Structure 1
Amino acid sequence: MARELIISIYLFAFRNVFCFFKLWPQQRKTTFIVSFGQNVLFTVNELEKRTDEQIVILKTANCSMPFREKKSRKVLCFKAYAILDWFRSVYHLATSRYVFADNYFGVLSVSSFKKNVRCVQLWHAAGAIKKFGLKDRAIQARSLKAYRRFQKVYKRFDHVVVGSEKMADIFKESFGITEKEIVRTGIPRTDLFFYHAIVDYCRKGFIRDIPAIINKKVVFYAPTYRDDMSALLHLDVDQLYKQFSNDYILFIKLHPSLREGFINKYPDFMFDVAKYNTNELLLVTDVLITDYSSIPFEFSLLERPMIFYAFDLEEYEQQRGFWEDYETLVPGPIAKNTNEIIQLIRKNSFNLNEVRRFAEEWNTYSQGHSSKNIIDFLYF
């Protein structure tokens, strides 16, 4: 109840400020609301390369992508406590001709854009295992007022970018949209996997920071985010070190709340790579261990092994819900404990043909030119 009251007050204030700034003339300007950033980064780079569009990037509280300001690019802190930047952010949203969002943003429910404005959903993932949007079980448990707000946000999208027919169908269900909103350009962040020069450049950068990757393979443990941070606690690093420290190193991304006071017993084996871009980490990863994350959809383009460490499969499925049967969907073996992970790696129990099929199914339109395709579609 208190949460809904706070949201209502905030949106009331936002709506009034937005309507005031809407009286200002529209400009040749594109504004991005960002919580993840990787799709936005590739889209912005292509937009800057091919147009003279003024670009504004509104970084929300969850955005860790280090966007730099340029002559044609403003970067603002879109948080309520950053008052001056917040007012500037609302002004830019109200006076832009294009607005991109890479996630759900409640302010869109009260952003009555001018008629010629095009609002684009540049979703942060190429695929989905767990349900989201209107099909998210957590949302279905919210109040009717909240549910209607979610619907208003999703109805605000003129275009929703997809990389496959599978994802197009999921968005139609999740957002309650129709075929006319679907844009089949591919997912911008996947362009990285097709640029061989960038792949080599990224690898050299990691070698400078972590020389161990020259002679050892990289296992990257990248579970989906959990409120209780329990995923890392279920991985027996002691066992992994004993079995694989001669041939492998382990990459993990420690959440800030875990990093403080965390003692790494194996600094020559386990590395906290939280400061690095996830896509760049995937380029140097030999074996990915994940669970319900969307990372496999992009990683599959590299045609490398994956292990799905679903130690809480039944519980998680009951809480969130999956789009398909988990065991049928994932392109790799499922492990329920660390010992099973060890056996899978030791026996090389991977079917890369299954990974290739998965990549083709979920990245149909992501062929290395997705950023270009989006700019062509919208601006030319």
Structure 2
Amino acid sequence: MFRPRAKRITFATMRNTQLVDNLKQLYDTFEKNGGYELKVFCFHYDRSWKSRLLFFWYSLTSVYYMATSHLFIIDDYFFPLYTLTKHRKNVVIQLWHAIGTLKKFGLSLPNADESVIKPHTNYDWVMVNAEDDRQAYADAFDIQKKRVLALGDPMLDPFVQVPIDRELEHKRRLLYSPTYRANNVAPVKAAVQAFIKAAATLTADWEIYISIHPYVNMRLDNQDLPANIHLFQDPGRVKQILPQIDVFVTDYSSLLLNFSYFERPILLYTPDYQTYIEQQGFYVDYFNYLKAPDFENATHLMNFINHNLAHLDLDYVRQLKKKNFPNLDGHNSDRVYQFLTSINRYGEQES
């Protein structure tokens, strides 16, 4: 019923109610240059019952955008795309929402073959940040390696405008960002509760931000929290405050690689490592690759911050930055834009 329009480009996500990160940066680049009909499709699927009911309607809407767009650009899992046979002139671009290759994702997951409908299909091109990432993404999305292009992640472009050195204020800022666990919110809740309780033992003056993954269906209530602890679920906000953070704490989130740009302390709080490695797995020898201080117990983590943080050698962070930031020129989005505008609906440029 519908055919792709040569100048229509749709930026689509089911991670958020607005464009953020790679999608937002690339959208702004297209808008700045002009000449295209830009469409935006956003729906935050959080696995709640309300979200599941709305999902059906939004899925139908997204199919219309897919059918009528020359370029359909996404940044994560996008279920409706995997259920159809798209027109050969619809070109689908996967930007993904994270950099690097730490935890396994996509078709590399241990239980990936259990899906009734095969996910991560219908991609024409995948954009990654570094040359070393290409093979892992090719495997995760079952796509030819030549279709995975290391042009740099657009969301990293603003980093080059942020000074690495930051004057320590009276109140220092700590960000704790636990990652998503498929269909199991219990470990996240337990870890967050233990973290909040242990944070009371911090001796210095800290502002603490706890960012819950957008796919975790977890009730957020800041009313009973201490005034210095801020609990939220907004991937746009977490990226916005990242440059102002003094210490980053996570379990397995690839956001730590983004944060490595600032050459500031990265600490690991991994109370469920053995379970996580069995259910999810990693592309790398996790602790050996990161070489970051690691804690299974939140109290031990806070004790380290109190007594050892000031003397921490940050060479391990600088090494992570060297591995994961091959492009520091602020032109990742321009490179992706130039490639996407060089392909057309009748023939594609080979790489």
TM-score, with length taken from structure 2 = 0.82
Q: Is the 1:287–1:304 Cα contact (8 Å) retained in structure 2?
A: yes
Q: Is the 1:306–1:331 Cα contact (8 Å) retained in structure 2?
A: no
Give the corresponding residue for 1:21.
2
Aligned residues: 320
Q: Structure 1, residues 184-223: CA drift from partner, whole Å, max 9, x if none?
A: 21011111211239x99xx9xxxxxxxxx95211111111
Amino acid at match of 2:172: K
CA distance in 2, matches of 1:236, 1:41: 32
Q: Percent identity?
A: 25
Q: Structure 1, residues 300-353: CA drift from partner, whole Å, max 9, x if none?
A: 111110001111111110111111111112241111112321233221253322
Asked if 1:377 is matched to 2:339, the reply is yes
Shift of 1:233: 3.0
Pairing partner for 1:215 from 158, 170, 173: 170
- 1:1-380 equivalent positions in 2, closer than 5 A: 20-22=1-3, 26-36=5-15, 37-62=20-45, 79-81=55-57, 88-140=61-113, 142=114, 145-146=116-117, 149-150=118-119, 153-154=120-121, 156-196=122-162, 214-226=169-181, 227-234=184-191, 235-244=194-203, 246-253=204-211, 257-260=218-221, 263-264=224-225, 266-267=226-227, 269-275=228-234, 277-345=237-305, 346-348=307-309, 350-365=312-327, 367-380=329-342
Distance 1:104 1:238, change over 3 A: closer
Shift of 1:256: 6.6
Shift of 1:361: 1.1
Shift of 1:134: 1.3
Shift of 1:366: 5.6
Q: Is the 1:332–1:351 Cα contact (8 Å) retained in structure 2?
A: no
Deviates more, 1:246-255 or 1:95-104: 246-255
Q: Structure 1, residues 261-294: CA drift from partner, whole Å, max 9, x if none?
A: 8621x21x21224456111121111000101111
Amino acid at match of 2:7: R
The structure with more helix, counted as a fraction of residues: 1
TM-score, with length taken from structure 1 = 0.76
RMSD of aligned alpha carbons: 2.7
In structure 2, list runs of 5 or more residues that go unmatched. 47-53, 343-351
In structure 1, list runs of 5 or more residues that go unmatched. 1-19, 64-77, 204-212
Describe the SS at the equivalent of 1:41. helix
Describe the SS at the equivalent of 2:31. helix
